[in-house]
Structure 1
Amino acid sequence: MMKKIHAALLSFGMSGRVFHAPFIDVHPGFVLSGSWERSKKEIQKHYPEATSYDSLESVLHDETVDLVVVNTPTYTHYEYTKLALEAGKDVVVEKAFTTTVAEAEELAALAKLKKRKLSVFQNRRWDSDFKTVQSVIDSGVLGRLVEVSFSYDRFSPKLSLKGHKEKQGPGAGIVKDLGPHLIDQALCQFGFPQSVFASIAITREDSLVDDFFEILLYYPQMLVRLRASYFVKEPVPSFIVYGTQGAFLKARADVQEADLQASKRPGHDGWGTEPKEAFGILNYELEGKDVRKEVPALQGDYRQYYEGIYQALTQDAEVPVSAEDGIRVMKIIEAAFLSASEKRVISLA
């Protein structure tokens, strides 16, 4: 009989409702125990057998709960993750992992001390567009990579209605909101860079938090550019890869978030499948001739993250995204802020 892992969320807002509860619910090895709900009581409308917890303490004192998902605002991640680990729970924590490298390192050490599993929820590793980019790079058809750009652009000049995203604080701003997605993808594919240079700015009227960044990651023979902006009305390809033998351009077109927002159940026919018009363009040299063609996107599937968590908790496998992965992302973020403030390249040696 399949072992059941009982999981509880620390919030049932957009993150809990869209990115966590559906994947816990569809996995046969998990039971959605419930969620901490502070004011609105929504979880039982979607999952009638789930518990609406009134406090963090009630979650942590529930001996049936094995896994706690810390999907609250970034500034709470350190405190809540620490309390969950100390209560003997395994933990999945949303990005950004923490607000500082020191906090991230302390949590990683605590997880080891308590012999608990700790993983950062970097679901964008399983986006269809990124998986497709990885497959083209790994094929070697582009030759030695020279310049790579990953962007996460929107046209959203107005301030967010989510107050915690617009208030000044240690977890606020676009660098710690969208930055972890891009940084994790870059580190996942290319490893840790030698140095960092960054520009971070406030561009929206009345904004109190950073809402634009460009982070340059320097590798021995390659430059990786990561950027995000709220003023991109006509977007360019979100993934641009230039190599000595060709180029690959790809739009950000994963459909999973839109499907989840529309309450579609993970795993339905066509799950994670991009439309043909979003296919990437590969242009390269082969035996002295130019070849230009569309590249169909691979299937995206966030279910693979929670399958990895299940294997980690039941078979003692490695978690799909480790605390050490999260620490490396935080090191890039801290270096980027230092670079932007001092206007210099920051060595990571």
Structure 2
Amino acid sequence: MTTRTLRAGLVGYGFAGQTFHAPVLSAVPGLALGAIMSSQAAKAQADWPGAAVVPDMAGLLALPDIDLVVVATPNEMHFPVAKAALEAGKHVVVDKPFTLNAAEARALADLARQQGRVLAVYQNRRFDADFLTLRDVIASGKLGRLVYFESHFDRFRPEVKARWREQDVPGAGVWVDLGAHLVDQAVQLFGKPDTLQLDTAVLRDGAQVNDHFHALLRYESGPHAPLRVVLHASTLAAHAAPRYILHGTRGSYLKHGVDVQEDALKAGERPGGENWGVDPLVGELKVHAVGDWVQTIEWPNRRGNYVDYYAAVRDAILGVGPNPVPPEQAVAMMELLDLGTQSAKEGRALAP
């Protein structure tokens, strides 16, 4: 096993590159930010003086010491940039959503296998404090057989901003943006649903793409049946719903608030420190005790840590650990996102 530091090249220095990728991967021992491809050369150099700043992919791929390419571009560029990096023999991390559709996802997965390179999608919200805690609640068995789960990502952003995510371009809209997280979390918990039904809407004044979605996942077979899962995201929720609602035959779990890491990163904080990833809003368990009596329990939160994702990528590249989000999972996710888009167009539930 080599002990040298792996060097990453970051493609794109917009919101995702600045906020989620550069500071998080740089906090991983044995992984360093070696280069940034960006049109914002002065800002990138000022923020990361130790990294080379290049204007295009040719310049990035020409650097001999880059082991890993991180794709943090607008969504429609994910496929061509990742393809070029894999063809150049690099390991690749792609921000979510993986690609624009499942066909592109399968093509990249095949290419990564042919090249013998690690290809992973940045599903960082598997490392949210609330999600890690939710997994503990489910594993405890205290709720009995699970029957209903609701997962919300509600925000209040009434003004449409002049950025690609809110323009009528390929890969825009909250279904592929936030749905990629919520569907992934649901599949991690319960597996692939038997049917998916999606409703999307354009609700804000001046909005060009969907800024609201409501998805119903039905589980009619398998270990969790019968189970209903609701996934919901809104940009007009000044009074946000609970992050999670989980009902079982012996009780319920309720959690307010979202993971604190995104806000910390947006404020310029770097991962690490005593309070990093600590969510102060604990969830509440109400469980059946004796007769009709219900016991209320505050359930302590796990600590979230996005750094664990990139540590797992490092280990996968070094051959000492599994890929945190392997290509087959990424392909399956894109198939479900495509299915949701088709469901919204047809106005009916569809089976994968």
Instruction: Tell me, yes or no, if the aligned pair for 1:3 and 1:314 is still in contact at 8 Å.
Output: no
TM-score of the superposition, structure 2-length normalised?
Answer: 0.95
Gaps of 5+ in 1: none
1:258 counterpart SS class: helix
Other-structure match for 2:58: 57
Instruction: Tell me, yes or no, if the aligned pair for 2:152 and 2:243 is still in contact at 8 Å.
Output: yes
Q: How does 1:332-347 map to 2 (within 5 A)?
A: 332-347=336-351
2:42 counterpart SS class: coil
Match of 2:265 among 254, 260, 268: 260
Decide whether aligned partners of structure 1 residues 329 and 252 sit closer, same or farther in structure 2, where only a CA change above 3 A counts: farther
Distance 2:132 2:26 in 1: 24
Other-structure match for 1:300: 304
Deviation at 1:13, TM superposition (A): 2.0
Instruction: Tell me, yes or no, if the aligned pair for 1:272 and 1:301 is still in contact at 8 Å.
Output: yes
Instruction: Tell me, yes or no, if the aligned pair for 1:238 and 1:252 is still in contact at 8 Å.
Output: yes
2:169 counterpart SS class: coil
1:69 counterpart SS class: strand
Instruction: Tell me, yes or no, if the aligned pair for 2:126 and 2:185 is still in contact at 8 Å.
Output: yes
Match of 2:295 among 291, 295, 307: 291
Instruction: Tell me, yes or no, if the aligned pair for 1:142 and 1:284 is still in contact at 8 Å.
Output: yes
Decide whether aligned partners of structure 1 residues 271 and 258 sit closer, same or farther in structure 2, where only a CA change above 3 A counts: same
Distance 1:152 1:206 in 2: 21
Deviation at 1:200, TM superposition (A): 1.0
Q: How does 1:166-245 map to 2 (within 5 A)?
A: 166-220=166-220, 221-245=226-250
Distance 1:155 1:248 in 2: 24
Match of 1:273 among 270, 278, 286: 278
Q: How does 1:62-73 map to 2 (within 5 A)?
A: 62-73=63-74
Match of 1:317 among 315, 318, 321: 321
The one-character-per-residue Cα deviations of 1:189-245 (angstroms, maximum 9, x if unpaired) are: 111111111101111112110111111111121011101011111112110001111
Deviation at 1:40, TM superposition (A): 4.4
2:162 counterpart SS class: coil
Letter in 2 for 1:342: E
Distance 2:40 2:310 in 1: 28
Number of aligned positions between the proteins: 345
Deviation at 1:44, TM superposition (A): 2.1
Instruction: Tell me, yes or no, if the aligned pair for 1:65 and 1:89 is still in contact at 8 Å.
Output: yes
1:347 counterpart SS class: coil
Letter in 2 for 1:199: D
Distance 1:60 1:101 in 2: 26
Instruction: Tell me, yes or no, if the aligned pair for 2:41 and 2:54 is still in contact at 8 Å.
Output: no
Distance 2:236 2:19 in 1: 26
Other-structure match for 2:155: 154
Letter in 1 for 2:130: D
2:345 counterpart SS class: helix
Other-structure match for 2:223: none
Deviation at 1:169, TM superposition (A): 2.2
Q: Structure 1 residue 137 and structure 2 residue 138: aligned? A: yes
Instruction: Tell me, yes or no, if the aligned pair for 2:195 and 2:217 is still in contact at 8 Å.
Output: yes
The one-character-per-residue Cα deviations of 1:12-39 (angstroms, maximum 9, x if unpaired) are: 2221222111122222201211200114
Instruction: Tell me, yes or no, if the aligned pair for 1:101 and 1:334 is still in contact at 8 Å.
Output: yes
Stretch of structure 1 that moved more, 88-97 or 291-300: 291-300
Distance 1:17 1:347 in 2: 38
2:86 counterpart SS class: helix
Letter in 2 for 1:38: S
Other-structure match for 2:256: 251
- Aligned-residue CA RMSD in angstroms? 1.3
Instruction: Tell me, yes or no, if the aligned pair for 1:129 and 1:251 is still in contact at 8 Å.
Output: no
Letter in 2 for 1:178: L
The one-character-per-residue Cα deviations of 1:73-112 (angstroms, maximum 9, x if unpaired) are: 1111011111110111000000000110100011001100
Q: How does 1:32-43 map to 2 (within 5 A)?
A: 32-43=33-44
Stretch of structure 1 that moved more, 283-292 or 26-35: 283-292
Stretch of structure 1 that moved more, 285-294 or 245-254: 285-294
The one-character-per-residue Cα deviations of 1:129-175 (angstroms, maximum 9, x if unpaired) are: 1111111011111111111011111111110232x112212211111
